[in-house]
Amino acid sequence: MIDSPSADSGNAGSPPTPLLVAVVRGIALVVVLPFRLAWEVVAAVGRWLHRWLLAPLGRFLDRWLLRPLGWLLRILVWVPLSWLGRSVAWLLRWFGLGLSWLLRTLVWVPLVWLVRGLAWLARTVVWIPLAWLAYHLIWVPLRWLARLLAPLGRLLVAGLVAVGRWLAAVGRVLLGALGWAWWAAGRLLWWCYALTLRPFVLGAAWLWRHAVRPVGRAVAAAWRATVSPAVRWVRRAVVDPVRQATHEALTALGLRS
C-alpha cells in the first residue's frame, strides 16, 4: 500500500519555495515515481504470495511431510541406532573387561611369575656362584699377591727411580762433555787453520791483488794496444781483399754463382 505523503511541520510558516527548488523537486518526482511504483507492486505481490501461497504451503509441508518424516526417522533409524550403539558399547565394555581379565590371568601373571622365577634362578644358580668364585678364586689371590708383591713393587719403583736419576746424571755429563768437545774441536780447527792454511790464503790473496791482477791488466792493455789493431789491419788489408778476389775469380770461372 502506498503511504500518503505527510506535510513537513518544520516548514510551517516558512516563506514560499523558490522556483528552482520547485523545478528540481518536480524532476526528481518524475524520475523516482516509476521505481517507487515498481517497488510497491513487487512488495504487494510478495506479501500476497507469502500470505496465500508460501505460508500455507510451508504449514502443509511441516504438518504432513516433515513431521511424519521426522517421526519415521526417529522411530525407524535413530532409536534402533541408539539401541544398537548402546548394545555394542555394552558388549565391547564386557568384551574388553573379559579380555583384560584373560590377559591378566593367563599372560601377565604367569609372565611376572616366570620373570621372577628366572631372576631368582639366575641370581641363585648363576650370579651368586659366579660372584663367590670370582671373589675366592680371583679377588682374594690377587689381593694376596698384591700384598706380597707390594714391597717388591716399591723396591722396583725405587730402583727405577734411582736408575732414572743415574741415567739423567750420566746424560747430563755426556751432553756436557759432547758440548765441550764440540766447542774444543771448533777452536782447534780454527787454530790449525790460522797457523797453517790462513798464511797461504792471505799470501795468495795479496799476490792476486798486487801481482797477478796488475800483470793481467797490463797484458790486456798491451794486447788491446798492439795485437788487436794489427789483427784488424791484417783483416782489412789482406784477408778481405784476398777473399774478395777469390770470390770474383771463382764467379768469373763459373765455379760459384
Residues 247/256, Cβ–Cβ less than 8 Å: yes
Return phi, psi of residue 77, to 5°.
-120, -60
What pLDDT is recorded for position 12? 45
Query: Does pTM surpass 0.85?
Result: no
The pLDDT of residue 17: 60
Cell matching residue 188: 782447534
In sign, the C-alpha dihedral spanning 11, 12, 13, 19 is: positive
Rounded to whole angstroms, the Cα distance separating 222 from 177 reads: 62
In the numeric block, the cell 714391597 is attached to 151
180 vs 186: CA distance, rounded Å? 10
Along the 257 residues of the chain, how does pLDDT read in single tens digits? 444 444 444 444 455 467 777 777 778 777 787 888 888 888 888 888 888 888 888 888 888 887 888 888 888 888 888 888 888 888 888 887 878 888 888 888 888 888 888 888 878 877 888 888 888 888 888 888 878 777 877 888 888 888 888 888 877 877 877 778 788 777 777 787 778 777 787 888 888 888 888 888 888 888 888 888 888 888 888 888 888 888 787 777 776 66
Given a contact cutoff of 8 angstroms between Cβ atoms, the answer to whether 250 and 256 are in contact is: yes
What's the confidence (pLDDT) of residue 2? 45
- Amino acid type, 95: F
Q: How far apart are CA 104 and CA 98, in angstroms?
A: 10
Burial 103-120 (b: 16+ CB within 10 A, else e): eeeeeeeeeeeeeeeeee
Is the Cβ–Cβ distance between 40 and 2 less than 8 Å? yes
Q: Retrieve residue 35's grid coordinates.
A: 521505481
CA distance 97 to 168: 85
C-alpha 8/C-alpha 24 separation (Å) is 18
